[in-house]
A and B are shown apart, each in its own frame.
Chain A
Amino acid sequence: MFRNQYDQDMLTWSPQGRLHQVEYAMEAVKQGSTVVACGNQNCVVLAALKRKQSKLSSMQGKLFGVNERVGVAVSGLSTDSATLVKLLREESVREEFVFGRVASPSKLASLVSKSLQISTRESAGRPCGVGLVIVGSSEDTGCQILQTCPSGDVCQMWCTAIGARSQSARTHLEKHLDELKVATVNKVIHIALRALSESNVDSEELTSEACELATVESNLYVSKSPEEVQVYLDQL
């Protein structure tokens, strides 16, 4: 009932102790198309549904390589996400320059989280309407999945799905959680693609044109080509 009074700007709390602008920004993430991430310490898979703005346009990319061991999937406002991906990539270049090492997923996630949180307590800007799923590997932790949201919260996940209709994907992943913990990369890919297809509109079949896939294993982030994606889809 009082929601509209306290949601005009970033600097106003509601009497219930909520920042409505941040919550509204989180809704923007749910507008983006689905992203699925799952795996275990040895390998992680990122899968996403691509959308196009119109019949005449190209598909909007969802998966981006950040450095040789880390990749990120985005869901939400694509222009906001471009800024965050740029931030991650520039930080990776800086890490290489300053420390001579590959930036780890957790360091990158903390950095993004800091930037996201700042815009939740300043009136000059607005929160970024993007949810990120950062996947990668580092020497001390193996493979990791880290999820961020417009509030600046960072969560490490066993597996996750964000974006439109992602609840169906999450349910599918929860059912296969124990399997995922010991699966090899091909099995993880199959589970990820099945989870993704659960979130597809009217449970339509996935096509390699509309589906993007990437893996992290043996310390390498690799983006799959449409032909490779088709091979996995055929195996489903």
Chain B
Amino acid sequence: MFDAREDALAGARQHANWSPYDNNGGTVLAVAGESYVICAGDTRMSSGYNILTRKFEKIDKMSGKTLMASAGFAADAVTLKKTLKARCKQYEFQNKREIGCVAFAQMLSNTLYYRRFFPYYAFNIVAGLDAEGKGAVFTYDAVGSYERTNYSCQGSGQALIMPVLDNQLKTVSPLVLPAASSATPLSEQEAIDLIKDCFATAAERDIYTGDSVELWIMNAEGVRKEEMALRAD
């Protein structure tokens, strides 16, 4: 304490000796197709150079047509999902139907910005089917800025995977005329294979991504899961 005061007097900057945040690592991504959406995330949870668990689920179903995936600080991500789930239930009671993914996306943004000055350290992706049954992906920063896109990646492996997705999935701008669909022309199976490849590749170089990847595939028939093992080192 005395040293800190001397340091301050000498002009040295004070540093907190405790941070409310931790980064539990991991990567999540989502890809939207004409009639499907796939949300994937690895299952490793780490802290520093330690692995806390190899079976942590980063993706959860928030309503019939909405999935949410988060990378970053697991405690914040889990609490954020809990809070939003409770809000989804209230929405159902008030509106007598389940919340749609576009409304959910807006609600997440508002919830995040509400904590503008003590943010949820969670980097989120919302994936779902919109009112027309088309795939929708929404990508966020930690304070709620969001955008609807056709694919996105968040987390420790983002820099490794995003360029691959840009290369394989980037389509015409939705602003170009005549209007052309900017959803991925890939079939569901092709998208699944691409996503598995991306994770396997990211696991090679990103130490925080690995163990296994779970894919949630949502289409008109419902949601199903696939899992693939990744490097465990």
Q: What is A's interface to B at a CB cutoff of 8 Å?
A: 86, 89-90, 92-94, 96-97
Contact = CB atoms under 8 A, between A and B. Distances in A.
A90 B94 CA distance: 11
A101 to B, nearest CB: 13
Nearest to A65: B93
A98 to B, nearest CB: 9
A93 B93 CA distance: 11
Nearest to A97: B86
Nearest to B83: A97
A90 B86 CA distance: 9
A93 B82 contact: no
Q: Which A-B residue pairs are the 8 nearest by beta carbons?
A: A93-B86, A93-B89, A97-B86, A89-B93, A97-B82, A93-B90, A96-B86, A96-B89
Given A89-B93, A97-B85, A97-B86, 14 more contacts: A86-B93, A89-B89, A89-B90, A90-B90, A92-B89, A93-B86, A93-B89, A93-B90, A94-B86, A96-B85, A96-B86, A96-B89, A97-B82, A97-B83
A136 B93 CA distance: 18
A61 to B, nearest CB: 11
A88 to B, nearest CB: 10
Interface of B: 82-83, 85-86, 89-90, 93
A92 B92 CA distance: 13
Contacts of B86: 93-94, 96-97
Nearest to B89: A93
A93 B94 CA distance: 13
B76 to A, nearest CB: 15
A71 B110 CA distance: 32
B80 to A, nearest CB: 12
B54 to A, nearest CB: 22
Contacts of B89: 89, 92-93, 96
Which interface residue of A93, A94, A96 has the most chain B CB atoms within 10 A? A93
Contacts of A97: 82-83, 85-86
Nearest to A66: B93
A32 B82 CA distance: 38
A97 B89 CA distance: 11
A179 to B, nearest CB: 36
A166 to B, nearest CB: 28
B75 to A, nearest CB: 15
Nearest to B88: A93
A94 B82 CA distance: 10
Contacts of B82: 97
A91 to B, nearest CB: 12
Nearest to A67: B89
Contacts of B85: 96-97
A212 B85 CA distance: 29
A94 B83 CA distance: 10
A89 B92 CA distance: 11
Nearest to B82: A97
Nearest to A90: B90
17 contacts: A86-B93, A89-B89, A89-B90, A89-B93, A90-B90, A92-B89, A93-B86, A93-B89, A93-B90, A94-B86, A96-B85, A96-B86, A96-B89, A97-B82, A97-B83, A97-B85, A97-B86
Contacts of A90: 90
Contacts of A89: 89-90, 93
B101 to A, nearest CB: 21
Contacts of A94: 86
A181 to B, nearest CB: 34
Contacts of B90: 89-90, 93
Contacts of A92: 89
